[in-house]
Amino acid sequence: MSTAVPKASETAQREVKDSTDKNLTSQPSDDVQSAPPEVLLTQMITGSLGAQAVYVAAKLGIADLLADGPKSVGDLARAAGVDPPSLYRVLRALASCGVFTEHDDQVFDSTPAATLLRSDSPGSLRDLAIFMGEDWHWQVWGHTLYSVRTGKPAWKQVHGEDVFPYFAANPEASGIFNRAMTSLSNLAIKAVVEAYDFSGIATLVDIAGGHGSLLTSIMNANPFLRGVLFDVPHVIEGAKENAAIKALSSRCDLTTGDFFVSVPAGADGYIMKHIIHDWDDERALQILSNIRQVMKSNASKCSSHLAARNAPPPNTKTFSHVRVSTLRVSCRQSHRTVLSRRGLRKGRRTARREKTIYHFSFWHLAGKPAVFI
């Protein structure tokens, strides 16, 4: 049986090589380097204000209210049940950044950026904006200094328990988190599906796959493929409501468990997306060991990183590696060390979609392509 290989052509790989090397480092982008230092630093210092403004608009569903055309701030405030002058100040600030546009008489309309805050928009980022701004999440980032001083998770300091037990005990927060993770998956799904040839894989397991958006997209593009969605029980309960999961029920199994204990055995391919960097080296090694023990000798795995070219400062790609579960910085060297300790050797590919470059890291096991996402 053949193993999965990337479909990206050598020409496409050469085309993105230079920018790939740049994006995989922690060096500032050209945009960051060209900005006056006082402008750059001020943007970073006040960045939380913009994030909260976007959160407020997303939480109140302002973009949904503007779906059928411009509305006055009074109409918007009545529909959202909030104070008109206060809402006006938030929307005016967002309009100055290109999120919404303001007309005469305090009338607001949508923009391409605002459209991404609609709940029904393809590629919507509304759930991600809500997740980043919710008080129970926002407080954790306010304790970053605690993590830097102690090396301990800020989440547990704030909430008294680790992040995933917290979600298990708080269904509303868990739903927001899982919908936000689906939003993140949607940013990379098309590139993953187009970049890889899954024809050598009969059964693919998505480890900690959430509500299954990535797995079902791969399965829809590869009708020969069987899938196994693996996650903790309360997440799988939510996945059962996913229409894409229901449509693929004849060849997609839903399995619960704890990846620190064991994972589904005997598949041809295993996928993880945004998982390993959530954990310290010891626990990351445990996850990898459990997968290594049950892999077929010709099994495949895949890893992808999303980096937007020409993005405005700050370099959010680097900030995204400060994870909410630990608020500890992960880096490529740490990932390389952890993976190599399980006999995996690294390769790399890239794919381009419009102005975005996707980085795919391959980890080879006994000469076979191994991929972690």
Which DSSP state fits 201?
-
Q: At what angle do helices 47-60 and 126-133 cross, to 10 degrees?
A: 120
Residue 308, Cβ density class (10 Å: 0-12 exposed, 13-18 middle, ≥19 buried): middle
Residues 6 or more apart whose Cβ sits within 8 Å of residue 212: 206, 227, 229, 239, 242, 244, 245, 252
Give per-residue burial for 73-102: e unless 16+ CB within 10 Å, then b.
beebbeebeeebeebbebbebbbeeebbbb
Residue 39, Cβ density class (10 Å: 0-12 exposed, 13-18 middle, ≥19 buried): exposed
Q: Are strands 107-109 and 101-103 parallel, antiparallel or unpaired?
A: antiparallel
Catalytic residue among 211, 274, 277, 359: 277
18: number of CA atoms within 13 Å, CB side? 2
Q: Are strands 196-197 and 5-6 parallel, antiparallel or unpaired?
A: antiparallel
The 3-state DSSP class for residue 178 equals helix
What whole-number distance in Å separates Cα of residue 109 and Cα of residue 122?
19
Q: Could you tell me where the beta strands, DSSP code E, fall in 188-275?
A: 196-197, 203-207, 226-231, 252-256, 269-271
What whole-number distance in Å separates Cα of residue 325 and Cα of residue 268?
30
321 is catalytic: no
136: number of CA atoms within 13 Å, CB side? 17
Q: Which residues are catalytic, by number?
A: 277
